[in-house]
Amino acid sequence: MTEALPIILVVLAAAFAVLLWLRLPRLVVERSGRIVLLGALFVMPLGLVQVGVSQSLHESKQKEFCTSCHEMEVYATSLQIDDREYLPAYHYQNHLVLQATACYTCHTDYTMYGDVSAKMNGMKHLAIHYFGDIPAAGEIALYSPYPNDNCLQCHRGTRRFEKKASHTTSGVTLELLYSNQKSCVSGGCHDKIHEIKDLASAELWGPPPFPIPESLKRAAAPGGAEDPFAAPAAEDPFADEPAPAPATTPPAGDVK
């Protein structure tokens, strides 16, 4: 029944439109017909626009909407990483953000036009999805550095946040955090975000919602030569020094 519902509704709408079309000459001359036209051509569409806009905006905040694009599946899977150091996973699994709207909560700027800008970025993503070069799994980057306001919309002023020792020591002050001069996700702080490169090797809390891409599995495999995420190899501090000469015993006759 649910599969047939859209077709039924479209057929009903089409039947109503055809009826209006055919009865139009009579409707425009009769008083009751004009009332029908007012309802069909103005009042009903006005209500439909209002309902449609509010409902579609609401639905587009859901996690399922974001992950309906294949590129976002790995990010949804990263929310299942079983390690509290991974910030999105920790927030998601412990309901520190609403699970149903987790993407929207953290990735919509907490500003006056945050919603509008998120929707415009969404349009850009869709254009790239269909017409552009899609980055590989885990190589999608933010347009701009992650703003602290997105964290502070919940954490600002909370006792646990302000009393935490690491927020008030070693070069970090609440003022720096509140003014966005020191990023919450900067190195050494909360710097483990989605970390897609770790996905294949990380333990997950429950079954993955989407299969992990083969490219990530190959990269995580021991000895994987094609690891695109591998950190650059540490330089050998002794590389420039000449190799020590092999110890040789001088011939007895050379000793002076």
Partner 1 sequence: MTGLKWLRASIVLLFIGIVCELIALLDLTPPTFVAFAFVGIPCLVIGMLIYLVHVWRLLRSKDAL
Question: What does the binding site for partner 1 look like in residue numbers (CB under 8 A)?
Answer: 5-6, 9-10, 13-14, 17, 20-21, 24-25, 28, 37, 40-42, 45-46, 48-49, 52-53, 55-56, 59-60, 65, 68-69, 122-123, 125-126, 129
Measured from the CB atom, the residue of 56 and 158 that comes closer to partner 1 is 56
Measured from the CB atom, the residue of 55 and 94 that comes closer to partner 1 is 55
C-alpha gyration radius of the chain = 30
Measured between alpha carbons, how far is 235 from 231 in angstroms, rounded to an integer? 12
CA distances from 82 to 21, 69, 85, 93, 228 (A): 60, 24, 9, 9, 24
In angstroms, give the least distance from the CB of 175 to partner 1.
40
In angstroms, give the least distance from the CB of 211 to partner 1.
20
Measured from the CB atom, the residue of 64 and 139 that comes closer to partner 1 is 64
In angstroms, give the least distance from the CB of 56 to partner 1.
5
Measured from the CB atom, the residue of 122 and 147 that comes closer to partner 1 is 122
Measured from the CB atom, the residue of 75 and 86 that comes closer to partner 1 is 75
Q: Considering only CA atoms, which of 150, 130, 125, 126 is closest in space to residue 140?
A: 125
Q: Considering only CA atoms, which of 174, 182, 170, 66 is closest in space to residue 118?
A: 66
Measured between alpha carbons, how far is 82 from 84 in angstroms, rounded to an integer? 7
In angstroms, give the least distance from the CB of 99 to partner 1.
18
Q: What does 218-247 look like in DSSP terms, one character per residue? A: HHHSTT-TT-TTPPPPPP-TTTTSPPPPPP
Q: Considering only CA atoms, which of 72, 140, 129, 133 is closest in space to residue 103?
A: 72
In angstroms, give the least distance from the CB of 130 to partner 1.
8
